[in-house]
A = this chain, B = another copy of it.
């Protein structure tokens, strides 16, 4: 299984079509400077939880059999096994939230996890998984289907946010954890952490949901649809069957990531960072402005480290998410969540607008939940606020995870 993914990434890193350089002859790093999340192509340093049985999936009466969940941990599980915090990732992140001995590269939430930090490894045992459907060690479209001995490709079953949570709670159970101190997540991860409170009310003690929603609004669906369309109309997508081929849908993937990047930040940040500065004084149809060069750079970089099929599957699962499903309405769903909830949102987020987090917080309060904390962050980083606003995000998480911790059922002292 691993080797097939290696093949994919080797291909990605070696091949460069002419078209990918249609605009840019050179790229200096200085003018692209600005805060960037540390996402990377993670191919080692994680543990693998193998589930030999079948997981019943939400859609199409499908099951996923004999699959892996890649995960990493930080801190130490106490003897009562009740100090664990699970972090659910966004769409494209790996389990590598934080550097550690087996992988010393900076993790995507490096500054949020560690001794004395927001998720304090002096207190908590922290778990982070790669979602099933992903391409960083968990079973996904680029994996070998044990039934056919070839890559799943687009025969991978349709997956859901429910499936992400269920698969990761199989690991939680496997680790012998019956009570989690908290489910934490942002973006897709925030959907997961919310949903874990519905699916596993007896396991989850606290929920942190950042820049998420009860159900995506149509603009966000449209923005992800456009990204998927970019990939699926690239002739090299080949209906998802490009593993082991000489080509893959790199052009579609690049521009999909350019669209995504534009939606991850905010107008005010682009304005502050790039204004209408030019990198090219020639007047021609091709690129002129720093913002264009930056987006192109982001597209090229990402296409080298993420599997297009994983993007398709996980992005679609996000669109299909609806917390109210199976309940009379959102209020009935939220009424199932009795534990304390921290809701964070950024005023400049265009992908998960802050009214959606407000809707969650107010909805929870209206159902009688007396432990709801809600902050609107005035960060200019848009949807990426959860990765970049170290003060606004960390302070709230730390306070929320540790307040009354000792009087709770969980015990945050290690041993």
- Chain A contact residues, CB within 8 Å of chain B: 19, 22-23, 59-60, 154, 158, 215-219, 221-223, 225-226, 228-230, 232-233, 251, 255, 258-259, 262, 267, 270-271, 273-276, 283-292, 295, 312-313, 316, 319-320, 322, 350, 353
Closest CB in chain B relative to A302 CB, distance in Å = 15
A285/B228 contact (C-beta < 8 A), A22-B233, A233-B19, A267-B353 known? yes
CB atoms of B158 and A275 under 8 A apart: no
Please pick, from B218, B229, B274, the residue contacting A255 in the complex, using a CB distance under 8 A: B229
How far is A103 from B24 in the complex, measured between Cα atoms in Å? 45
The residue among A225, A262, A271 with the most chain B CB atoms within 10 A of its own CB is A225
Q: Which residues of B contact A286 (CB under 8 A)?
A: 232
20 more contacts with CB within 8 A, not counting A219-B262, A222-B270, are A22-B232, A158-B285, A217-B267, A217-B270, A218-B271, A218-B274, A218-B276, A218-B289, A219-B267, A225-B291, A226-B258, A226-B259, A229-B258, A230-B255, A232-B285, A259-B259, A267-B353, A285-B312, A289-B319, A350-B350
Q: Which residues of B contact A217 (CB under 8 A)?
A: 267, 270-271, 276
A217 to B275, CA, bound (A): 7
The answer to whether A270 and B219 touch (CB under 8 A), given A283-B60, A320-B283, is yes
Residue of B nearest to A229 (CB): B255
Query: By the criterion CB–CB under 8 Å, are A218 and B158 in contact?
Result: no
Contact: B283 with A59, CB < 8 Å?
yes
Q: Could you say which of B289, B295, B319 contacts A288, with CB atoms under 8 Å apart?
A: B319
**Contacting residues, chain B, for A283 (C-beta < 8 A):** 59-60, 158, 320
Q: By the criterion CB–CB under 8 Å, are B60 and A218 in contact?
A: no
By secondary structure, the A interface counts as helix
Pairs A–B under 8 Å by Cβ, sample size 6: A60-B283, A158-B285, A217-B271, A218-B271, A218-B291, A221-B276
Complex contact A262–B319 (CB within 8 A) = no
Given A271-B218, A312-B285: A276 in contact with B322 (beta carbons within 8 A): yes
How far is A275 from B225 in the complex, measured between Cα atoms in Å? 15
Leading 7 A-B pairs by shortest Cβ distance: A218-B291, A218-B270, A59-B283, A219-B267, A225-B292, A218-B274, A158-B283
Question: Min CB distance, A64 to chain B, in Å?
Answer: 15
For A322, the chain B residues whose CB sits under 8 A away are 276
User: Of all chain B residues, which has the CB nearest A215?
Assistant: B276
How close is A160's CB to chain B, nearest CB, in angstroms? 8
Complex: A213 Cα to B338 Cα, angstroms: 49
8 Å CB contact of A222 from B59, B292, B316: B292
User: Whole-angstrom distance from the CB of A309 to the nearest CB of chain B?
Assistant: 9
A14 to B221, CA, bound (A): 31
Minimum C-beta distance from A140 to chain B (A) = 14
Cα(A218)–Cα(B261), bound, Å: 13
Q: Which residues of B contact A221 (CB under 8 A)?
A: 276, 289, 291-292
Q: Which residues of B contact A273 (CB under 8 A)?
A: 218
Q: Is the CB of A285 within 8 A of B313?
A: yes
A312 to B284, CA, bound (A): 10
Residue ID in chain B nearest A274 by CB atoms = B218
The answer to whether A154 and B285 touch across the interface, beta carbons within 8 angstroms, is: yes
**Minimum C-beta distance from A222 to chain B (A):** 5
Among residues of B, the one whose C-beta sits closest to the C-beta of A20 is B233
Point out the residues of chain B lying under 8 angstroms from A288, CB to CB. 316, 319-320
What separation, in Å, do the CA atoms of A225 and B22 have in the docked complex? 13
With the chains together, A259 CA to B251 CA distance in Å? Answer: 17
A290 to chain B, nearest CB (A): 8
CB distance from A388 to the nearest CB of B (A): 18
A267: B residues at CB distance < 8 A: 217-219, 350, 353
Residue of B nearest to A273 (CB): B218
**A232 CA to B284 CA in the complex, in Å?**
13
**Residue ID in chain B nearest A322 by CB atoms:** B276
A225 touching B270 in the complex, CB below 8 Å, given contacts A158-B284, A218-B275: no
